[in-house]
């Protein structure tokens, strides 16, 4: 009897940014970071890790990257991602998804990143409300978040 190929990807990323291989959580930090670094998207929008000898496709529950922390530095906002990289927060890319989850673009706009609760609450500490609008002030500019944070029903 001929075996059929297993079409389920061997690597899976959950909505919290945890990586799993064959159902086992990847806890070795260097393996985890190498996978994040080598993550790419093919022309069909499918995620894969390029191992040098070929592509290993990755199933992603929501986004491959998550915003773990937000901090203010020199009057601008920065985010720390699950791959331990940091970058400046682009307010123009903030968006609310299903279940009121906050997202932003990362890695030069190539990937979406889901805010963790910790990252979300840290950012919300800086939100102000004035004249019926929610905003965050950064670099002498008010970033209006009302349309992003409050979706009409």
Of 103, 101, 73, 100, which is closest to residue 87 (Cα–Cα)? 73
Q: E strand or H helix at 73, and its extent?
A: strand 65-73
* pLDDT band (50, 70, 90) for residue 150: low
68 contacts 50 by C-beta, under 8 angstroms: no
The pTM assigned to this predicted structure is: 0.84
State mean pLDDT over 31-45.
Answer: 93
Topology, domain 65-126 = duf1285 protein fold (2.30.270)
Domain 11-60 grouped into CATH 3.40.190: no
State mean pLDDT over 38-50.
Answer: 93
- The token duo for 28 is 């070795």
What is the pLDDT of the chain when averaged over all its residues? 88
Q: Are strands 65-73 and 111-115 parallel, antiparallel or unpaired?
A: parallel
pLDDT for 141 = 84
Comparing 11-60 with 65-126, is the CATH topology the same? no
Boundaries of every domain in the chain: 11-60, 65-126
């Amino acid at each position: 009897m001929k075996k059929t190929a297993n079409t389920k990807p061997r690597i899976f990323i959950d909505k919290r940014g945890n990586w799993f291989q064959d159902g086992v959580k990847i806890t070795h930090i260097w393996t985890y970071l190498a996978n994040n670094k080598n993550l790419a998207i093919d022309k069909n929008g499918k995620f894969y890790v390029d191992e040098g000898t070929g592509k290993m496709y990755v199933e992603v529950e929501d986004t491959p990257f998550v915003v773990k922390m937000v901090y203010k530095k020199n009057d601008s906002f920065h985010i720390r991602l699950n791959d331990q990289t940091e970058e400046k927060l682009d307010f123009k890319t903030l968006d609310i998804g299903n279940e009121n989850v906050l997202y932003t673009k990362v890695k030069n706009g190539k990937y979406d990143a889901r805010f963790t609760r910790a990252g979300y609450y840290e950012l919300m500490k800086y939100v102000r409300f004035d004249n019926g609008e929610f905003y965050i002030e950064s670099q002498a500019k008010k970033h209006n978040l009302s349309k992003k944070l409050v979706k009409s029903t």
